[in-house]
Amino acid sequence: MSAARVLTPFTALPLVVRLSVILLVALTAALVVRLWPQWLHNPDLSHGLFMPVVFLLLLRESASGPFRFLPANRLSSLASMGLWLLGLLTLAAGGLYAAALGWSHDLVGFTLTAALVLLLVAGLVVFSLSTVRFLPFNWSALVAIGLWLLCAPLPPGTYSRLTLSLQLMVTENVLRTLHLLGIGAVRHGNILELATTSVGIEEACSGVRSLISCVFAGLFFSASLVRRPWSRVLLIGLSAPLALAMNFLRSLILTLLTNSGVHIAGLWHDLTGFAVLAVTAALLAGLALLLERRCTDLPVCGLEATGREARSPSATDSAPGAARLSSPRLLIAALVLASALVLFFIANTRPALRGDAPVPDLAAILPTSADGWVVEPGVDLYQFASTLQTDHLAQRTYHRQTANGPEQVTLYLAYWPAGQASVSLVSSHTPDACWPGAGWEAMPVSSPRVHLNVAGRPLPEAETRAFHSGGFPQNVWFWHLYDGRPITRQDPRSPLELLRQAWHYGFRHDGDQLFVRVSSNRPWPALAQEPLLARFFARLQPLGL
C-alpha cells in the first residue's frame, strides 16, 4: 500500500489538527528567525543554516515509512499533555532568562529551542495517533525534531567547560605525539612552546565545532541512509570519536607545519578546518551507505526497510476526524497559549536605553601615570580581537616596590557597541574561563561575589577569582555592564528571582556592553584607598559603574 493511502492528507484532517500544524510551522519559523544571526556569525553553529531544509527532508523521509501509529488511548494523551506542559514551562523560562540576561544570551536561545522541541514532539504524538495518521511515529521524524537542539547555542557554562576540556585534551595529546616524533616541546595550559616558536590551541581549534557538526551529520545520515537499529547506533556512536580524532589530526598537522617554519595563520588554518569537516562528513556518509548496502543484502533488512506496518486502518482504528479528539484539542490550546507567550515577549520588548551610546575612549579611562607607580602599556591586545569580536580594548599594568615587596595592579577594559556581540559571548570570556588555558591555576575563594569600596565609595557587586602561576598570585575582580548597568547574576534555578528582575528591568533589545577587570598580587583591602583605583573608578562612573 502506498504512503498516500496510509497517511491522511492535510486537507482531510480535523480543523483542530490543521490549526495545530499551522501554529507549529509558525513557531518553527519564529525560531529560525531568532537563531539565524547565530547561524551566520557563530562558526560553531554554521550547520544550522541547513537545518530548515534538513528538517523538511527528514519529515518527507518519515512520511515514506515505516508506518508506526500510536493508539489513541489515555497513555498517549498523558504523553502529549506532559510534553506540551514541559514545553510551555520551558518557553516561560526562556522569557524570564531573556529579561534577566538579555535576548542575545545563549541560554535564551537554547531554552527557546528546547521549548520548540518539546512542543514538536507533543505534536508528533498527536499527529501519529491511529485516529489522525498525519505523520508516522518513526526514527526519521524524531531525528528531524531532535536536530534542532544541535543547532542551538550551548549555555555559556556548558560551552566554556566543554571547550576548555577539549583544548587541554588536544594540547596534551599533541604534546605526547611530538615527543614520540622526537620533537621537543613544553606545554603551558593550551600553549605549546616549540624550539623556535609557540602554538596555541585556541577555542576554534578545541574541536567543539567539528564535534557538534559531526554528531549532527551522524544523526542525519542515521535517519536518511540506514534502516537497521544496530547500524544507526554504530553510526551515531562513531560520529563523536571520529570528530575528535580528526580535530586532533588537524591540530597536529598545524603544529608540525609551524615547527617547520610555515606560517599557518590564514590559508592553512582555514583550509585544514574546512577539510576536517568535509572529510568527517564524507566518512560518515560512506559508512552509512556501506551499512545500508550490507543491510539490503540480508532478507530481514529488506523486510524492515519496506515498512512492515504500512497497513489500512483496521476496524479498531477510528477514521480521522471521528472520536478521540481530546488530545488534538488540548494540543491546539497549548499551542495557542505558546503563541500568546511569544507575542507577549515581543510586545513587551523595548529598545535598549543606550542603543546609540558613543564608543567611550577606553585609553583615556586608564591613568597614564600615578605617583610611585611604573606604568607598563598593555601587550598586543588586538591579537584577541577576533576571538572577543571587538577592537575596543585597553590595558595598563602598574608596578612599584614597597616594604612588603613588589606590588602590581593591572586594569583592563573591553567594550562592545550595541548589537556587536551577545551577552553570552562576553560572559564566556571571564578570567575563570580563559586564564586556565594560559597556564594559570584557579585557587578557591570564600565567595565568588563580593561588595567592594574604593576611596570610601561603594561599588556594585563584583565577581572575584584567584589564580597563581609559578608561585605568583593574582587576585581578580571584574564587572560586566550591559546597557549601562552591571548585570546582576541571579540564581538561574530560581524562577522567582528571574521574574523579580524581569519586573524591575523589563524586556530590552541588545545594549552596549563593557567589561571591567582589576587584577593584582595584593588583596583588595591593600588597594581600596589607592588614588590610582579611585581615579580609575571615578572615570567609569558615567558608564554605569
86: confidence class by pLDDT, cuts 50, 70, 90: very high
As a whole number of angstroms, the distance between CA 211 and CA 206 comes to 9
Q: Among 139, 311, 327, which residue's Cα sits nearest to residue 235? A: 139
pLDDT score, position 300? 43
Tell me what pLDDT residue 319 has.
42
**Do 327 and 76 contact (CB within 8 A), yes or no?**
yes
Residue 323: pLDDT above 50?
A: no
Among 449, 388, 350, smallest CA distance to 102 is for 350
The pLDDT tens digits of the residues spanning 242-262 come to 988 888 888 888 888 888 877
Residue 90 contacts residue 115 (beta carbons within 8 Å): yes
- What mean pLDDT comes out for the span 513-525? 91
Q: Each residue of 325-361: pLDDT tens digit?
A: 578 999 999 999 999 988 887 776 655 555 566 888 9
Task: Report the share of the chain in percent with pLDDT over 90.
Answer: 31
What DSSP string runs through 164-189?
Answer: HHHHHHHHHHHHHHHHHTT---EEET
Residue 221 banded pLDDT, cuts 50, 70, 90: very high
Residues 6 or more apart whose CB falls under 8 angstroms from that of 194 comprise 183, 184, 185, 255, 258, 259
**φ/ψ bin of 488: left (φ > 0), alpha (ψ from -120 to 50), beta (otherwise):** beta
Q: Residue 173's pLDDT is what?
A: 86
> What 3-state class would DSSP assign to 63?
coil
Confidence of residue 320 (pLDDT cuts 50, 70, 90): very low
Question: Would you place residue 433 in the very low, low, confident or very high pLDDT band (cuts 50, 70, 90)?
Answer: confident
With vertex at residue 313, the alpha carbon angle to CA 312 and CA 315, rounded to the nearest 5 degrees, is 125
Residue 265, C-beta contacts closer than 8 angstroms, at least 6 positions apart: none
> CA–CA separation, 205 vs 211, rounded Å?
11
Amino acid at 485: R
Instruction: Give the model's pLDDT for residue 317.
Output: 46
Read off the C-alpha cell for 280. Answer: 568527517
Alpha-carbon separation of residue 383 from 7, 370, 391 (angstroms): 58, 28, 10
What pLDDT sits at residue 129? 93
Distance CA 236, CA 231 (A): 9
Domain map (residue ranges) of the chain? 3-155+291-350, 157-287, 362-543
User: Which pLDDT band holds residue 504 (cuts at 50, 70, 90)?
Assistant: low
The pTM assigned to this predicted structure is 0.70
The C-alpha atoms of residue 19 and residue 328 are separated, in whole angstroms, by 10
* pLDDT for residue 56: 95
pLDDT band, very low/low/confident/very high, at 426 (cuts 50, 70, 90) = confident
Instruction: Render pLDDT for 390-413 as a digit per residue (tens, 0 to 9).
Output: 888 999 999 988 888 889 999 999
Identify residue 218 by its one-letter amino acid code: G
Q: Which stretch of 97-106, 169-178, 217-226, 260-269 has the lowest confidence by average pLDDT?
A: 97-106
d(CA 65, CA 63): 5
**What pLDDT score was predicted for residue 148?**
96
Query: What is the per-residue DSSP string for 362-378?
Result: HHHHS-S--TT-EEEE-
Tell me the three state secondary structure of residue 192.
strand
pLDDT tens, position by position, 15-64:
999 999 999 999 999 999 989 988 988 888 888 999 999 999 999 999 98
How confident is the model over 370-392, as pLDDT tens digits? 888 888 887 667 767 777 778 88
